Amino acid sequence: MAIRHEVRGPILWMVVDGAYDDAELAAAWERAFADPAFRAGMPALIDSRKTVAAPSRARVAERAEFLTGLRPRLGTRCAILVSDPLHYGLGRMLAAFTDRSGLEVQVFDDAARAEAWLLSRA
């Protein structure tokens, strides 16, 4: 399973490991929402430090649209945790695509800073 979720206190973590397709992405989010520990409005942290995906601009736009479609169930903030410059740039692009959606996305390379940002207005 390339995507799994963990509810860590007040934050929903989506942990990506390797490559994945759209069906797996959608199924992972549905599993997270069905978890008894999940609460509507939780901020999300997408840990993509182990991803191998390098999507095109069009694909990033599609993923941003998918993520903003989840906004009614998520909080207003989503952090993306990355480990390299390529994925930092892709995360920033995704953040730009979600700019007017009501979902604020920020990219981090440090888990503690990402969690602190998510909870600073929670």
Contact 101, 70 (CB under 8 A): no
Statement: residue 122 has pLDDT above 60? no
User: Domains of the chain: which residue ranges?
Assistant: 3-119
Distance CA 31, CA 14 (A): 11
User: What is the per-residue pLDDT across 9-36, written as a single tens digit (0 to 9) for each?
Assistant: 999 999 998 888 888 999 999 999 999 9
E strand intervals along the chain: 3-8, 11-18, 42-51, 74-81, 104-108
> What's the whole-number average pLDDT of the chain?
92
Judge: domain 3-119, CATH 3.40.50.10070.
Answer: no
Statement: residue 119 has pLDDT above 60? yes
E strand intervals along 11-119: 11-18, 42-51, 74-81, 104-108
Contact 94, 54 (CB under 8 A): no
pTM: 0.93
Contact 32, 38 (CB under 8 A): yes
